[in-house]
Amino acid sequence: MKTFIRMSLMREKEAINEHLSEFTGVILDAHILETFQNASSGYISNNKLRYILDPNTYRLAIDPIIDCTDKRWYDRIIQNFKIQDLINDQGLLDTTLLRDHKRLERFVIDILRYQEDRISNLSGDIESWLFLLEESNEDENQKPYCVIPPYFIIDSEELLDLNIEAINLSLDKSELPIYANIPIYYDNLFNENVINHIIKRYIETDADGFLLWVTDYNEVKERSISLQCYQSLFKEMKELAGSQREVINLFGGFFSTILASKNIYDGLAHGIGISESRNPYGLGGPAPTLYYVPILHRMLTSERADDLILTVKSRCSCPVCSSKMPSELKTMELVRHILNVKMIEQREIEPLSMDEIIAKLDQDYEMIYRSAGDTRTQRTFMAYSQQLKEWVNSLKVL
Ligand SMILES: [Zn+2]
């Protein structure tokens, strides 16, 4: 399976460095690149990382952006996407203007060029200095893993049409593989007809690969009936895409890692802490200080994590946690711990069969339940570990 790390803050670089050889590349959102221009472009160039630069065009067309217009990335994005004439009085990208074929075509080209050249251009100043010191090769300019045509959240047939049209227009406009970002609106996940229709439209395009995103999907909170819809979506998509076209899940946690390890799809992007799901209508904000509990495969507050670890006697085996309890870890240690555990999880489940994985999840659930001495503790621990049961019930019917 391919593994991508989603970068959201530049302070994560050190933690990512410890695992460079274990993942395929990084995913960087355009607004993150524009917020930390030099740090992020320099990091990718200097380490020669494979990367996907997600243009996140949907972000410019939905309401919460209004509260973001004072952020430093907003003006840089408008300027570098060359979309001044698509922005309305409220500062939003007016998608109705893209009904004009010529205008859409130009928009598509600008968005593809941005992804192809932006990292190289931003690190160009540094490179031109290096050029004086040693021979530099033009071909070494780092190109992304793939390019993504502009896209918007599919909450209407009109926006689905627009996304498909943008893919079709991009096909002969880049030397790089064209990967379609498919943002599935959460409610649509449960409507089989709508899902089949959306999948069919994308499969019929000549896109080279697909990046799937079920909006605001938090696999830790979902019931097994919902998880079954989720796993079916990916299974269906991969079966129709065939072996030549990759299907990558853009947001997911441990449940999604299990699906990827059993080749339900080709790759998964891990967030670090907060980005295991994404609500496009949310405003975001600083990550709360949480500890990823390995046996639960989910985040808890550090105090609750301390409590659970002491009771269940299941400590994390990663170097960060060897001599400290969760509540003693500093922010960067929490980040390093998360990545350590993600990589350990992946290594551990890859050789296991699905039956073995299911048995292990069942075993952990029972162990947590038995460890809780009294009924009250049991109730609390069950609230933390319910997702293990939901995952088991869903995976059993895969
Ligand atoms: Zn740890």
What pLDDT does 134 receive? Answer: 52
Q: Could you tell me the CA-to-CA distances from 381 to 218, 290, 323, 334, 369 in Å, in that order?
A: 19, 17, 24, 22, 7
Residue 287 buriedness (CB in 10 A; 0-12 / 13-18 / 19+): middle
- Between the CA of 332 and the centroid of ligand 1 the distance, in Å, is 12
- Between the CA of 276 and the centroid of ligand 1 the distance, in Å, is 18
Residue 28 β-bridge partners: 7, 53
What pLDDT does 106 receive? Answer: 98
- Between the CA of 274 and the centroid of ligand 1 the distance, in Å, is 17
- Between the CA of 390 and the centroid of ligand 1 the distance, in Å, is 25
- Between the CA of 321 and the centroid of ligand 1 the distance, in Å, is 4
What is the identity of the amino acid at 185? Y
Site of tokens 């947590």: 368
Pairing outcome for strands 267-270 and 2-7? parallel
- Between the CA of 310 and the centroid of ligand 1 the distance, in Å, is 15
Q: What is the pTM of this model?
A: 0.93
Q: Would you state the structure tokens that stand for residue 303, as one six-digit string?
A: 């105090």
pLDDT tens, per residue, the chain with 398 residues = 999 998 887 778 888 899 999 999 999 999 999 999 999 999 999 899 999 999 999 999 987 655 555 577 889 999 999 999 999 998 899 999 999 999 999 999 999 999 999 999 998 755 555 555 554 454 456 899 999 999 999 989 999 999 999 999 999 999 999 999 999 999 999 999 999 999 999 999 999 999 999 999 999 999 999 999 999 999 999 999 999 999 999 999 999 999 999 999 999 998 776 667 787 776 555 566 799 999 999 999 999 999 999 999 889 999 999 999 999 999 889 999 999 999 999 999 999 999 999 999 999 999 998 888 788 888 888 889 999 999 999 999 99
Q: In whole angstroms, what is the distance from residue 92 CA to residue 222 CA?
A: 32
- Between the CA of 205 and the centroid of ligand 1 the distance, in Å, is 43
Answer yes or no: are the C-beta atoms of 325 and 301 closer than 8 Å: no
- Between the CA of 343 and the centroid of ligand 1 the distance, in Å, is 11
Q: In whole angstroms, what is the distance from residue 156 CA to residue 159 CA?
A: 5
Set out the domains of the chain in order of their start, with CATH numbers: 2-270 (3.20.20), 290-395 (no CATH)
- Between the CA of 383 and the centroid of ligand 1 the distance, in Å, is 22
- Between the CA of 309 and the centroid of ligand 1 the distance, in Å, is 12
- Between the CA of 278 and the centroid of ligand 1 the distance, in Å, is 24
- Between the CA of 320 and the centroid of ligand 1 the distance, in Å, is 5
Answer yes or no: are the C-beta atoms of 157 and 163 closer than 8 Å: no
**Three-state SS for 210?**
strand
- Between the CA of 308 and the centroid of ligand 1 the distance, in Å, is 14
- Between the CA of 294 and the centroid of ligand 1 the distance, in Å, is 8
- Between the CA of 26 and the centroid of ligand 1 the distance, in Å, is 22
Answer yes or no: are the C-beta atoms of 171 and 160 closer than 8 Å: no
Q: In whole angstroms, what is the distance from residue 176 CA to residue 266 CA?
A: 19
Other beta carbons less than 10 A from residue 370's beta carbon: 11
